[in-house]
Amino acid sequence: MSTALIVLAAGKGTRMKSDLPKVLHPIAGAPMLVHALRAGATLDPARIAVVTGHGAESVEAAALEHDEDIRCVRQEQQLGTAHAVAQARSALDGHDGDALVLYGDTPFIQPETLERMIEARRTHDVVVLGFEAADPGRYGRLVMQGETLERIVEFKDASDQEKAVTFCNSGVIAADSQTLFQLIDAVGNDNASGEYYLTDIIAIARNRGLGATAIACDEAETLGVNSRAELASAEALFQSRARQNAFDDGVMMQAPATVHFAFDTVIGPDTQIEPNVVFGPGVTVENGAHIRAFSHLEGCHVARGAVVGPYARLRPGAELAEDVRVGNFVEIKNAVLEQGAKVNHLTYIGDADLGEGCNIGAGTVTCNYDGVMKHRTAIGAGAFIGSGTMLVAPVTVGGGALIGSGSVITRDVPDGALAISRAHQEIKPGFAQKFFDALRKKKDMRNKGSS
């Protein structure tokens, strides 16, 4: 049976003290909303509805950027969670299967947990996700009778006996989609907040003779983010998990607490990662690569045996083949470096194609931008580019060619050719001493005039 997702993302998040909608605040380089969508995606949902409200246009843009098939619906008035879910009715019209309600500000629910919820749906009409809370605080309480969930009680409406319950509500609910909306139609707002609580559907379901249960997950999965401090805690939790997963996958980190992963970082076994490395979104590093200290990578691919850094920056579109060397204070952007290419020092390579085994000297720059358009530089296999070379694109340097240090190359260089382009050097004996003497005299006169 197919599953549909309803992701609630309408809240303002006033405690964030931000103009940015709460669900768009990033964790590991991706909005919280995307984390929730990625977890739900493991169920291969037939439909996904995102309910927006505050900052609707921005939230909808982020959702559609992640998945253009998402259906966005708006909750114009903030009248509670049941009211929010009701807005998704049109998006799920005709859907024959389960509906799973998730939250855009609860980014850590694991795919395995959602799969257990769907499995429980085979024997129960409504399934709720709960957790044993170390500090139940103001969470809603799950009142159980054996495996049966009798009701959910909001903290502000709970009796003292109900407040003593430590099994708490995450808000995540699964039910047949038609059943879900029928139950929501019966929800009222006779409560302390005057809102339509999604949690009320449990008591309604039980009164109608429907079966309800709750399954438990680790409390950390249900972490909701409502403030800057909680956002920082969520980031720390993500990074801790990512580092452990990297170790489990055979990655070595000497100082793991200083390595920062993105939500989609992929690192192969036997990769060495030195301290203070940052992975932005879109990075894949193959087996046996070596990422040295203080390097920053985003939107790039690093093949087996490549070495990056220290203090290197790989920007989007950087493609490093096997055994490539990218050294200290080198920046690579939108460039392909074929096997064994070396760019070891103080160099910018942008919009370029470097052939196998070519060697790029220190201080080389591919001058790729003319103020309006970007242009590519092509360097053939085995070419040697001397230090301090400016390659003014569009330009091609042939295979096995040699560029003299300090050259400005504006024309194509054939295979195996030597190219040197330098200004004529003049030497004027004694001029330097006379020049500095004149400057010092001028400086002395200026100092006397100001005293």
Catalytically active residues are: 345
Q: Which amino acid is at 94?
A: G
Dist CA 189 CA 195 (whole Å): 5
8-state DSSP, 139: P
Are residues 56 and 14 in contact, defined by beta-carbon separation less than 8 angstroms?
no
What type of residue is 387? S
Token pair in block for residue 211: 């079966």
Given a contact cutoff of 8 angstroms between Cβ atoms, the answer to whether 117 and 129 are in contact is yes
Tell me how far the alpha carbon of residue 62 is from its chain's centroid.
12
C-alpha dihedral over 207, 3, 112, 262, to 10 degrees? Answer: -130
d(CA 239, CA 231): 12
Closest CA to 252 of 260, 261, 243: 243
- Cβ burial, residue 401 (10 Å; 0-12/13-18/19+): buried
Beta bridge partners of 253: 273
